[in-house]
Amino acid sequence: MIAILMAGAISIVASITFTRLLISYFTRLGKGQPILGAEDRGPTHHMHKQGTPTMGGIAILSAAFIGWLLPHMRDGLAFSDQAMIMWVAVAVLAAIGFLDDFLKVRRQHNRGIFWKKKGWITFGIVVLLMWLLAAQTGVSETISFTRAEVPGWDVSTPVWVLWTALMVWATTNAVNVTDGLDGLAAGSAMFGFGAFGLIAYFAFRNSDIYSAIVNPLDLAVLAAAMAGACGGFLWWNAAPARIIMGDVGALGIGAALGLLAVTTNTHFLLPIICGINVMEAGSVAVQMGVFKASGRKKRLFKMSPIHHHFELSGWPETTVIIRFWLLAALCVAAGVALFIADFTNEIRLIGDALP
């Protein structure tokens, strides 16, 4: 528990500090986040944010890594191969996001180098990373809900790699879509990481039930570090934001959330815990579906993602953010409740089986 608390505390302080340094650096450069205009059907009501420093995700991920690394200096916490491969995956996805952010700022247009190709490129990379996780670690290759035995569908390695790659890839995109209002993505991700930290700690304290999870304490420390880093970033990212996390942060955070679901065997809990991200990404999919089905004439929402719909309906930005945070908290509470309910049921079954 001390290591988990250390990770959270260190990452909060580091995130606040690093983010402030980034704000100063990008302000001196004089370039910031471009906003899509009316010609691209973008959120023109956000044009006042044009030029806000971006790439704040660099501070989040750097702070989280330090927050995860330093507790390992104490005795009793070993480095796990899963956590290290997870950091490689986070770094690779964040690097893609950084390249996209860099080109957006340089060209002063909200279209990165990959644009329509980015989805295919990132999915291919995630497939390779999930294959590495399966090949180099003892990760459970089952499809599960709250633990490897529930439902515990055994699948072949190629199927598992594709399934988990889809999970991680979808989460990165969902977090990226959510990152449209000040503090929305960071705040909701903080709740999600808190949930996975609790799940991993439960697994650590009850290794007989969650034996399929490799070094759950290290996973709990990683989750705590990510939660703390997102919380520290909110110091500067809360409305009105002094800095935006950018794709470098959204892709890195999304990868970490998806990978924590994979390594804690909570595949089907992921869309519940990250329910707000599912709602945001789903609103884009529905909007596109209605638009195409109507012959490109009708739209269900005033603008997607759905947070823009509520803004255009008259909700102040801060109202949308706080209400969406509340929805995110409810989703996380539901996911954790399902996990604990399964744990409690398993304890009861073990007790009934005793002579």
pLDDT tens per residue, range 331-349: 999 999 999 999 898 888 7
* pLDDT at residue 48 is higher than 80: no
What sign has the CA pseudo-torsion 318, 238, 61, 215? negative
User: What's the Cα-to-Cα distance from 237 to each of 137, 148, 208, 219, 326, rounded to whole Å?
Assistant: 36, 37, 41, 26, 18
Q: Which two tokens stand for residue 219?
A: 């996973």
| Confidence at residue 116, expressed as pLDDT on a 0 to 100 scale | 63
Q: How far is CA 315 from CA 50, 125, 259, 321, in A?
A: 21, 39, 34, 10
pLDDT tens digits for range 61-116:
999 999 999 999 988 788 899 999 999 999 999 999 998 888 877 776 655 555 56
Q: What is the pLDDT, as a whole number, of residue 151?
A: 85
Cα–Cα distance between 281 and 175 in angstroms, integer?
A: 8
Query: Mean pLDDT lowest for which of 118-122, 124-128, 210-214?
Result: 118-122
Tokens 């806000």, residue located = 52
**Which tens digits make up the pLDDT trace of 162-209?**
999 999 999 999 999 999 899 999 999 999 999 999 999 999 999 888
pLDDT at 40: 47
HSE-up of residue 325 (Cα within 13 Å, Cβ side): 16
Taking CA 228 as the corner, what is the angle to CA 128 and CA 165, rounded to the nearest 5 degrees?
15
At residue 157, what is the residue type? T
Predicted local distance difference test score (pLDDT) of residue 36: 54
H/E element holding 294?
none
pLDDT surpasses 80 at 226: yes
Tens of pLDDT, residue by residue over 18-47, are: 999 999 998 888 766 665 544 445 555 555
**Both structure tokens of 217:** 């304490």
Per-residue pLDDT at 134 exceeds 50: yes
Query: Can you tell me the mean pLDDT for 256-284?
Result: 95
**pLDDT tier, 262 (very low <50, low <70, confident <90, very high otherwise):** very high
Give CA–CA dist 208/295, Å, rounded: 56
Instruction: Tell me the pLDDT of the chain averaged across its residues.
Output: 89
Backbone phi, psi, residue 48, to 5°: -65, -15
